[in-house]
Amino acid sequence: MDIHEILKYLPHRYPFLLVDRVLSCEPGKSISALKNVSINEPFFPGHFPHHPVMPGVLIIEALAQAAAILTLKSANLKADDDTIYYFVGIDRARFKKPVQAGDQLILKATILRERIGIWKYSAQAEVDGRVVTEAELMCTMRSKQ
């Protein structure tokens, strides 16, 4: 799935769209996506000027965006003006290695369960085959009204 298709599923736009490509997606099961971490990212001038590191909260957000695509594809829905997909919880987050400019971040999410409109995922971010971040995420869709 290229960026044009991703934009149909996520309401996020620059500078907060953190998924560049979906590598694979098995609706109802799992997703693998890609975030190219460029030196031109708007957070690098301040985090940190002499040693650019991607903030951990943005890695988690990138994982949540990949999970959102998985959920919307699983439910056969797309982004619209009436609903929003909220990130509502995180458990067991671990940051194992810094993500730097030039890295390709592989975002993986697997559905653990869905109950009363709350989706729970096991998520991992990898660089060069090494896990750099892992967490369990919870998200839900709600009406904007």
Q: Which residues are catalytic?
A: 47
Cβ atoms of 86 and 65 closer than 8 Å: no
Closest CA to 19 of 112, 129, 89, 123: 123
Distance, in Å, from the CA atom of 37 to the CA atom of 28, rounded to the nearest integer, reads 28
C-alpha triplet 118, 107, 121: angle, nearest 5°? 20
Q: What six digits make up the tokens of 11?
A: 């309401």
Cβ atoms of 71 and 26 closer than 8 Å: no
